[in-house]
Every structure is written in C-alpha cells, then in structure tokens.
Amino acid sequence: MATHKLLLLPGDGIGPEVMAEVKRLIGWLNAKGLASFETEDGLVGGAAYDAHGASISEADMTKAKAADAIIFGAVGGPKWDGVPYDVRPEAGLLRLRKDLGLFANLRPAVCYPALADASSLKREIVEGLDIMIVRELTGGVYFGEPKTITDLGNGQKRAIDTQVYDTYEIERIARVAFDLARKRRNKVTSMEKRNVMKSGVLWNEVVTSVHVREYKDVTLEHQLADSGGMNLVKYPKMFDVIVTDNLFGDMLSDIAAMLTGSLGMLPSASLGEVDAKTHKRRALYEPVHGSAPDIAGKGLANPIAMLTSFGMALRYSFDLGALADKLDAAIAAVLASGLRTADIKAEGSTPASTTQMGEAIIKELEKLT
C-alpha cells in the first residue's frame, strides 16, 4: 500500500478544533490498515504570524510543495485585525494557492436528506441535490492588470479592475469540469456573460472547442451567469457540473452552498495541473468556512466540512473514492440518527460537541468497513 504524505495546516480559531477530528480519522484509517498516511504539522495564518511574523514560513512552503496533499483548516480572527496587509492571515492561503498553481476550485453542494429542511428552499426543490461547482481560481478579474485607483484631480477617482483570460487557462479548467462530469452524471453547464464581456466570448468559444475535440460524450450547455444564478435557485437539480470564472464562481458557489444548509457542512478542493512525469497534481483541501471566532475554543464547531474536505482528498488525490463514499455514508447515517452540532440542530435539542460528532462518524464508518 502506498504511503501518502500530508501537510496539515490547522490555522486559527476553530481550524485546530476541526483538524483534530481529521487527525482522529487518519489515525483510525492507518490503524485499520485501510490507508497509509504520514502527516506533518505546519503553521499558517495568525498562528504562523505569532510564531515568526509571516503568514506562512518558507520552511512550511517547502513542506507544502513536497506534500502529496495539504489539509487546511481556517485562518484569521480579530486578534490579527491590525497586522500589515502583506502578512495578514489570509495572505498565507493566497500564497499557497498562487505558488502551488491551484487553479481549479471544486465546491460540491450536496443536500443530505436529513438536512433538507435546513435549506432556505423547499425540501422538494433541494432533496437529493448534488452539484459540483468548478471555479477558475488563479485568473480573471481578481488578478488582472491594470488594477488601480487613480485620482482624476476634479474631485473624482477612477477604479479599474481588469478581467484577463488566456486560452490555456480556460482549456485547463474546462478539462477539469469535463473529467469530473464523466465520473458523475455526464453534464457540464458553462457560465459566462458573452453578451457583454469579451472574456465571456472567449470562454464560451474555448469551452466549446475543448468539448468538440475531447469530450463529445459529455453533454455541454451554456448559460449566461445571471440567468444561471436564477436557475440555480429555482431549478437547482438541473445542474451536474458548473464551470465558470473566478468572479462568477465566487458568487455562484456561495449561493449553491446556502441551498444545502450550514457553512459547517461545505468542503472544497483546490487543484493544480497534473504533472506529466508523475501524473500527480498539487492539491489543497479546506472547508469553505472561516475560523469562526464567535464559537472558537468552545468545542461547538461542526467538523463535517473539514472531514468531507479530507474525503475529497481521498477521492481526488489518492484514488480512494470507495473509502470517500463510505465516509459520506457514515456522515449521512449520523445525521439521520439525529446527532447534530449546534449549527444544524433542531430547536430545543441538545447539540453534540465537535468531538462527539467526529467520534460518532468513525463509529458508523467502523460498521461500513
């Protein structure tokens, strides 16, 4: 059995609390012989700033580049509000994404049957929902130059952000989406605004040509990002994989997320390019939520987003999809049994702690393996 090297970066606030449950799971998987992981701990965010004045050290960047996958908790909190912009906690995460070339952000939105009533939509609209949003993460308007605010001298200022996409950036994100669709329900919906943006025209053209050349077996549909957003709320089950740019992906994935309930339930993966020699790709897995300073240190955090992020690592980095399926089934069973952390519990019932939830999931997993 191959041994996989993981770098664990718990970060701040509830990050270390939810990471403790991943460590428990890894320890259990290793002990049962179901997988073989070697882990190393690193510091990121405020924790790294406190230790060495940077949001991630060069030594931990080196470890990140050598790891088979990075498991990331959450960073930030009011304690570091005043620190300089370049070393603020979030800078550590941005540096990891940029230096490791993590261009593909995968955000699944899955509605567990037991939680269908926690959605902002009606049960019949979201029950059984299973969408994968693929967001381009290293290009587009967040990074394009020029990016300036100029004083026009007449009491007015001008702000400029620039949306830039090259063919290769659109091709590689499209391939990620089509490859995922083949393992799911074989449908990709591409979203842009070709009616008003040149980058939307190119996006549409390139996705179409990748489809025609390499993925004719997958159904491809194009939607304008605004009406696509409407469809996401009205008919969410029409979607399988959605592929879109950095800005639209940021918004659409947050909307999709809320269809399924709490932030404490949502995982994500950020993937780099497949290396031609090793066939491996750099990858970072993290929950969508932040460091939740309001509940940090109280043992109240829901560890499910962190655990399903690790589940995505099993699936996308280590070819352990069957094990990831069992982890999902164990989580569904625990939720169906009524055990809930505070963020997803019914009114009046007693909430489970972070640890109780983590232990219950492993107990269910024990039955399934």
Which residues form the catalytic set?
A: 142, 193, 226, 250, 254
Task: Establish if 302 lies at the interface with ligand NAI (CB under 6 A).
Answer: yes
231 marked as part of a ligand binding site: no
- What span, in angstroms and rounded, lies between the C-alpha atoms of 302 and 308? 11
Q: Which of 236, 364, 352, 255 is nearest to 302 (CA)?
A: 352
Q: Which x/- pattern over 215-254 shows residues binding ligand NAI (rule: CB under 6 A)?
A: ----------------------------------------
17 binds, among ligand NAI, Mg ion, none (CB under 5 to 8 A by kind): none
326 binds, among Mg ion, ligand NAI, none (CB under 5 to 8 A by kind): none
302 binds, among ligand NAI, Mg ion, none (CB under 5 to 8 A by kind): ligand NAI
Q: Hey, what are 281's tokens? A: 């790709």
b/e map of 77-107 (b: 16 or more CB within 10 Å)? beebeebeeebbbebbbebbbeebebbbbbb
Angle at 218 between CA 213 and CA 222, to 5 degrees: 85
250 binds, among Mg ion, ligand NAI, none (CB under 5 to 8 A by kind): Mg ion
Closer to Mg ion by CB, 41 or 250: give it.
250
User: Least distance from C-beta 93 to ligand NAI, angstroms?
Assistant: 6
Q: Which of residues 62-91 bind ligand NAI (CB under 6 A)?
A: 74-77, 90
Residue 10, preceding bond cis, omega within 30 degrees?
no
Binding residues for Mg ion (CB under 5 A) = 250
16 marked as part of a ligand binding site: no
Task: Establish if 263 lies at the interface with ligand NAI (CB under 6 A).
Answer: yes
State the binding site for substrate: 97, 107, 135, 226
